[in-house]
Amino acid sequence: LSDQGSSHIAQTIGFIKRQKPNLLVECLTPDFRGDKKCVETIVKSNLDVYAHNVETVKELQTHVRDHRANFDQSLNVLIY
């Protein structure tokens, strides 16, 4: 998917919020390979909590994480 599924996630959040406006929604996302446009799509979806797992400390990332992800990329997603 060109937007890595971010629009589908955002639409799902929007649907939930329309059905239950008082419900708090937390969304655990991938790092979207660092694509801030995808992050922005989720942020603007009216969710209440944005979450992303860093998975490990920087020193161990090459041993335990998928090679397409990295510690700094994850931090940049959370900082954004």
Q: Which residues of 19-44 are buried (b: 16+ CB within 10 A; e: fewer)?
A: eeeeeebebebbbbebbeebbebbbe
Tell me which residue of 12, 15, 14, 7 sits closest to 32, measured CA to CA: 7
Tokens of 62: 């090459």
Domain ranges of the chain: 6-79
Contact 51, 28 (CB under 8 A): yes
| Residue 14: predicted pLDDT | 97
Q: Tens digits of per-residue pLDDT, 8-51? A: 999 999 999 999 999 999 999 999 999 999 999 999 999 999 99
Look-up of token digits 């801030």: 36
Contact 29, 3 (CB under 8 A): no
